[in-house]
Amino acid sequence: MPVTANIKMYRVGELGDCFLLCFSQQNQRTHVLIDCGSYWNKKSSVDRMKIIAEDIAKQVKGYQLDVVVGTHQHNDHLSGYVHAEAVFKKIKPRQVWLSWLDDPDNKTARKIGKDFNNYLTRLRLIQKELKSSFYAGTEKIQQNIQHLLGFYGITGAERFNARTEKFPADLPARATGILKTLGKNKPKYLSPGEVFDLPGLGKETVKVYVLGPPREEEFLYKKEPGKGETFDHKLSLHAAQAEKMLTALKKATGSAGVRKAEEPFPFDEPYRESANFKPVEDAYYDKKNEWRQIELDWLNQAEELALWLDGFTNNSSLVLAFELVETGKVLLFAADAQAGNWRSWKEIKWKKKPAGFSWLNLMNNTVLYKAGHHGSHNSTLVEGLENMTHEELVVMIPVEKSDPMVNYGKGWKMPAVNLYKELKKSSRNRIIRMDEGISKAKAWNDLAGKAGGNSLYWEYDVKG
Residue 193 to residue 321: CA distance in whole angstroms: 11
pLDDT for the residue 68 = 97
Among residues 309, 324, 341, the one where a domain terminates is 309
Tell me: do 75 and 202 sit in the same domain.
yes
Helix 107-130 / helix 300-315 crossing angle, nearest 10 deg: 150
Identify residue 41 by its one-letter amino acid code: N
Tell me: do 176 and 294 sit in the same domain.
no
Residue 397 counted as domain residue: yes
Tell me: do 380 and 355 sit in the same domain.
yes
Tell me: do 253 and 375 sit in the same domain.
no
Kindly report the number of other CB atoms within 10 A of residue 295's CB atom.
Answer: 10
Phi, psi of 294 (to 5 degrees): -125, 20
Tell me: do 234 and 301 sit in the same domain.
yes
Residue 355 counted as domain residue: yes
Judged by DSSP in three states, 335 sits in: coil
Identify residue 106 by its one-letter amino acid code: N
Residue 157 counted as domain residue: no
Q: How many domains does the chain have?
A: 2
pLDDT for the residue 45 = 92
Residue 323 to residue 116: CA distance in whole angstroms: 34
Residue 96 to residue 383: CA distance in whole angstroms: 31
Phi, psi of 298 (to 5 degrees): -65, -20
pLDDT for the residue 169 = 58
pLDDT for the residue 390 = 97
Among residues 270, 288, 309, the one where a domain terminates is 309
Tell me: do 180 and 237 sit in the same domain.
no
pLDDT for the residue 293 = 44
Tell me: do 355 and 411 sit in the same domain.
yes
Tell me: do 78 and 192 sit in the same domain.
yes
Sort 51 into a burial class: Cβ within 10 Å, 0-12 / 13-18 / 19+.
Answer: middle
Residue 260 counted as domain residue: yes
Residue 158 counted as domain residue: no
How does pLDDT run along the chain (464 residues), one tens digit per residue? 789 999 999 999 999 999 999 999 988 999 999 999 998 888 999 999 999 999 999 999 999 999 999 998 888 899 999 999 999 999 999 999 999 989 999 888 787 777 777 666 766 777 776 666 555 566 766 676 666 667 667 765 554 443 445 555 578 888 999 999 999 999 999 999 999 999 988 899 999 999 989 888 778 766 332 333 232 344 445 445 555 555 555 555 555 444 444 444 434 445 445 566 566 556 555 666 554 444 445 455 666 666 666 667 777 899 999 999 999 999 999 998 888 889 899 999 998 887 889 999 999 999 999 999 888 877 888 889 999 999 999 999 999 998 887 766 554 578 888 889 999 999 999 999 999 999 999 999 999 989 999 999 999 999 87
Residue 39 to residue 147: CA distance in whole angstroms: 10
Tell me: do 327 and 210 sit in the same domain.
yes
pLDDT for the residue 267 = 40
Tell me: do 233 and 358 sit in the same domain.
no
Residue 166 counted as domain residue: no
Domain of residue 125, residue span: 109-144+223-309
Distances (CA, A) of 9 to 120, 151, 334: 30, 20, 14
Residue 218 to residue 340: CA distance in whole angstroms: 8
Among residues 255, 281, 309, the one where a domain terminates is 309
Residue 384 counted as domain residue: yes
Tell me if the pTM is above 0.75.
yes
Residue 324 counted as domain residue: yes
Could you write out the DSSP letters of every residue in 132-152? Answer: SGGGTT-HHHHHHHHHHHGGG
pLDDT for the residue 406 = 76
Tell me: do 74 and 99 sit in the same domain.
yes
Residues 6 or more apart whose CB falls under 8 angstroms from that of 462 comprise 4, 5, 6, 7, 324, 329, 331, 367, 368, 392, 394, 449
Tell me: do 369 and 326 sit in the same domain.
yes
What CATH number is attached to the domain comprising 392?
3.60.15
Partnered with residue 396 across adjacent β-strands are 370, 432
Kindly report the number of other CB atoms within 10 A of residue 142's CB atom.
Answer: 18
Partnered with residue 32 across adjacent β-strands are 21, 67
Q: What angle do CA 64, 100, 344 make, to 5 degrees?
A: 110
